[in-house]
Amino acid sequence: MKNRILVDTTIWIEFFRAKPKISDFLKTLLMENAVWTCGVVLFEVLQGIKAEAEKTKILDILSLLPYAEMTKSLWQKSADLSIALKKNGITLPHSDLFVATVTREHNLYLFTIDKHFEKIPDLKLYEVPS
């Protein structure tokens, strides 16, 4: 089975800014139909758009991707994850907790450049091959 990869907002920003290494690699993943999205990533990407033409371009891409749903039970698991991390002195933004939970529960890899995701247990991170 091919890898199923949820692409975090940080990667989409690099992609739309045409940063060569990440942009080229994400293009390959898109061609392989390996890329997924979720509500939080969709929200974060769209809320940063400044021009309507840019919004149309981005929606054209994101609307083609498989979508990992955030169910009621996953909201509860996000809260549990937050509590567990705080017990270990780790506080993360809510949006990142949601992304981590949806990634874990849908058995996806997470493609991100945010280092704090490394602190989340059982989260499969996807790295650009050297």
Q: Which domains does the chain have, with CATH numbers?
A: 5-126 (3.40.50.1010)
Residue 130 binned pLDDT confidence (cut-offs 50, 70, 90): low
> pTM of the entire structure?
0.93
The pLDDT value given to residue 51:
87
- 3-state helix/strand/coil string of the chain: CCCCEEECHHHHHHHHCCCHHHHHHHHHHHHCCCEEEEHHHHHHHHHCCCCHHHHHHHHHHHCCCCEECCCHHHHHHHHHHHHHHHHCCCCCCHHHHHHHHHHHHCCCEEECCCHHHHHCCCCCEECCCC
Residue 76 binned pLDDT confidence (cut-offs 50, 70, 90): very high
Residue 50 binned pLDDT confidence (cut-offs 50, 70, 90): confident
Residue 127 binned pLDDT confidence (cut-offs 50, 70, 90): confident
Both tokens of 35, joined, read 């890329």
Q: Which of 13-17, 46-50, 71-75 has the highest mean pLDDT?
A: 71-75
